[in-house]
A and B are shown apart, each in its own frame.
Chain A
Amino acid sequence: MFFSKFSKLSLISALSTLAAASASAENRAPKELVIAAPFGPKSSVPDPRARQNGWLSNRAGVSETLIGLGYDMSMQPRLALSYENLSQTQWKIALREGVKFHDGSVLTAADVKDSFAKLDAEGHPAYNPRLSKLLGLKSITVEDTHTLIFETETPNSAFLWTLTEPSAAVMKDGYDDYPLIGTGPFVFEKAVTEKTYVSRGFADYWGGAPKLDRLVIDAIPDGAVAALALKSSDVHLVSNYPEADFAKLEEDQAGQRFAASTTRLFFYQPRMDGGPLANDALRQAVSLGLDRDTIVAASLAGVGGDVANSMFPANMTSWVNPHLMLPYDPAQAKALLDDAGIVDNDGNGIRELDGADVVLKLRTYEGRAALRPTLEISQAMLQQIGIGAEISIGEFGANNDALAAGEIDMHLQAWGTAPQGDPDYFPSTLVATGASYNIAGYSNPDLDALLEQGRSLFKTEERQPIYAKVQDIVNQDLPIIPLFHKTQVSVGNGKVIGYQIHPAETYLASPELDLAE
């Protein structure tokens, strides 16, 4: 009797414990990480392949590309396990096995072919003529379930790099329950235009189930409000924290701080086919007279930028030429100008070239907060070496027209120098002879030959010395005058785990991203 009673009690107790444990597991508060970002999605169902939608879905871990970019900007296997160059126009790509789409179906080579075909389908949400042009595909052949052959119209050494672009995502056509079907660690839930992008963890992710249950990326354009939202615990992480506030945290050694250089370069493009800056010595003196440390300190609170010594940031170890320097040396700048006969004869504080005061017209555009102060500080610095400067703000395209027409002497700009990780994009677009954005009229046959050689080679180790030399020539000739690379600064609430800033600013979510209890 006693035993029977005891057994019953034990049984009830065990069942209660089990029930409680099970209830506890079920009732565990879902781990939701809320991130404040300056921009939101462009539509309620933003297909990653169209326009720049992939930027956000790649960050949110919803979509994935065949090849990824590592934190040193080198190529990394992603959905493709390996890639092999068969000829100058053919690439064999072997897919990772066991990859599942968010609807549970298994990724096959046919899915990849279908996804890329949509880039050319006018009217389809994935239509992207820009990416299609960059890829220059002639055909995609499915060799077997997990192998494809990509063939380009012409030899294109940037092809694999272009596959790292977030728009080159592999997606399946969506439907009501799954409007966007990708393969990433997070499943798209919903988006509100310019406001929020919500995703949930994908348990069947090939790289392991994510630690977070939900990831919310909220657009808060005002950095000060984002910082206050972090303070009020409305968000857990601010991806683009205000630089001045970050500097204060640095000073106090407070907050969970993250900082890393990006490939976004702030630089001057001087007019070289006429006007005062066609003079090599004057251009060199301008570069020597710009104190890049002070520019970063004044315009980005000393934490929002890394002084540029080449077109690529120091953390882009795969391509940067680490031996280059762009020093601040006003004494040398003055000596250089004196030697070139650019001196102040009339004693008005401004040096003269060909009998006229050297007063450079500098212009930039709105859109990036650091541009305007950089222009203002440059004006003051140039004055220190006897060069006058008039500054103004215009519109990007109009400024290019003005530079081409000789109405201005330098155009201050900010570009991502390697958006796909390929080192050829930036020099071939801005400094190669006749390039579409070589507004300054610069031409150097040696540089052109190097760029052509670089485009014809397909192995990274063969290309590295070529692009190192390209950076060297650019620093010597100064068809662009690099100033600094933008540093992204983020602040977490102290509980964010597995977060890292990517130089291309296109990666954020990973299965390891977590929030401590």
Chain B
Amino acid sequence: MNALLTRLGGLVTVLFGISFITFAVTHFAPGDKALAIAQARYPGEMGFDAEILEGIRDEFHLDRPFISQYLHWLVDFLTGDFGRSYSSHSKVWDIFAGNLEETFSLAITALTLGLAAAFLLAGLAVWRKGSLIDRFAILLASVGAAIPSFWLSILLILLFSAHLGWLPAYGTGTLAQLVLPTVTLAFWVMSSQTRLLRSFLLEAYDQPFVETLRLRSVSEREIFFSHVLRHALSPALTMIGLDLAGLIEGAVIVEIIFARSGLGSLLAGSVLARDLPVVVFLVMFFALTYVLINTVIDLVQTFTDPRHLAGERNAV
């Protein structure tokens, strides 16, 4: 219970700090904020009448001191009023909700596919350590880690859309349009997780309990599935959690290249348009996602791993 409260307290503090820093960065960014808002509202226009800029200053209380503006924003934020987009005037929440599903479905599909491939490859690599399969897994993981997502995306479009004509090059909404972005992200997940899983599994195989189990004539299959895999899952869970958080952000590049709806392309578009209410909200959301996933993983490990429980008891 103490651990839970400590974690939640930390979470609130981190989020408060992030909100302050994010707001301060946007507030103290160089240039006239009223002009930036006007340019977000009327993209392509450079010059604005002084009266228009004055109206914007009044509308957004830009003449108030920083702390007053921050507290005003914070109260609105905490009461669920996330503001409106400068460029479309739509509610930030509506824009966010309209894009969440696309990113979420892409991230989950990529994570599932990537993890399945990683488990298979890492399992085979450990099963036949030093074999061709093992070397192939290591090579694939290294190459995958070195290939940037944007390059792989273009390569996949070139092959499967432009040359073979099998899949659409861009877009959102159909299953076919989900394939190439999913493969791009899944490849990244597979690469990072294969490397890690392989080392976690090998580390687990080196534990003395494995030898004990063998001496007790437990089958290799049972040792792997019932003991080694379970042992390796604990550290893997942390990395998978971070990958999930990373995937939501990694979607930025993939969504832009494949011209998909989603939080990634929304963030990039909002930054370019200097649509600050949307940018601030998304930064808060991504921070919350990271912190929440980390907290959940820590808590799961705390309550499932006997060593963590023992550590906590010793600490108390």
Contact = CB atoms under 8 A, between A and B. Distances in A.
A429 B47 contact: yes
B46 A437 contact: yes
B31 A401 contact: yes
Interface string A348-384: 0000000000000000000100000000000000000
Contact of A436 (B50, B95, B257, B272): B50
B305 to A, nearest CB: 44
A232 B89 contact: no
Given A46-B88, A437-B46, 16 more contacts: A39-B43, A52-B41, A52-B44, A133-B49, A133-B52, A194-B266, A194-B269, A195-B261, A225-B170, A226-B170, A228-B154, A232-B162, A234-B168, A234-B169, A395-B36, A416-B46
B98 interface: yes
Interface in B84-107: 87-90, 95, 98
Given A232-B161, A397-B32, A224 B52 contact: no
Given A55-B44, A229-B161, A397 B261 contact: no
A228 B44 contact: no
A192 interface: yes
A193 B38 CA distance: 20
Given A43-B88, A228-B161, A194 B261 contact: yes
Given A43-B88, A55-B44, A228-B162, A396 B261 contact: no
A236 to B, nearest CB: 13
Of the candidates A39, A42, A129, A416, the one having the most CB atoms from chain B within 10 angstroms of its own CB is A42
Given A42-B88, A228-B158, A229-B170, A195 B42 contact: no
B154 A436 contact: no
B13 to A, nearest CB: 31
Interface in B29-57: 29-32, 35-36, 38-39, 41-52, 55
B169 A232 contact: yes
Interface of A: 39, 42-43, 46, 50-52, 55, 129-130, 133, 192-195, 218-222, 224-226, 228-229, 231-234, 367, 394-401, 413, 415-416, 419, 429-430, 436-437
A191 to B, nearest CB: 11
Nearest to B55: A129
Contacts of A129: 52, 55
B276 interface: no
**Which DSSP category, helix, strand, loop or mixed, fits chain A's interface?**
mixed
A262 B36 CA distance: 24
Contacts of B257: 222, 225
18 contacts: A42-B87, A51-B41, A52-B42, A52-B43, A130-B52, A133-B49, A133-B52, A194-B265, A220-B170, A222-B256, A228-B154, A228-B161, A232-B162, A396-B46, A401-B32, A415-B47, A419-B44, A437-B47
A505 to B, nearest CB: 9
**Which 3 pairs from chain A and chain B are nearest by CB?**
A397-B31, A398-B30, A398-B31
B30 A395 contact: yes
Given A220-B170, A234-B161, A234-B169, A51 B42 contact: yes
Contact of A225 (B42, B87, B98, B258): B258
A193 B98 contact: yes
Contacts of A220: 170, 259
Contacts of B95: 193
Contacts of B30: 394-395, 397-398, 401
A419 B88 CA distance: 21
Contacts of A436: 47-50
A482 to B, nearest CB: 15
B44 A133 contact: no
B157 interface: yes
B172 interface: yes
Contacts of A52: 41-45
A201 B52 CA distance: 37
Contacts of A42: 87-88
Contacts of B29: 395, 398
B10 interface: no
Contacts of A222: 256-257, 259
B171 interface: yes
A192 B262 CA distance: 12
Contacts of A194: 261, 265-266, 269
A193 B95 CA distance: 9
Interface in B251-275: 256-259, 261, 265-266, 269, 272
A130 B48 contact: yes
B171 A218 contact: yes
A367 B31 contact: no
B51 A133 contact: yes
A413 B47 CA distance: 12
A327 B290 CA distance: 57
Interface string B155-174: 00110011001001111100
Contact of A367 (B35, B154, B162, B272): B272
B154 A225 contact: yes
Interface string B281-308: 0000000000000000000000000000
Contacts of B32: 397, 400-401
Contacts of A234: 161, 168-171
Contacts of A221: 256, 259, 265, 269
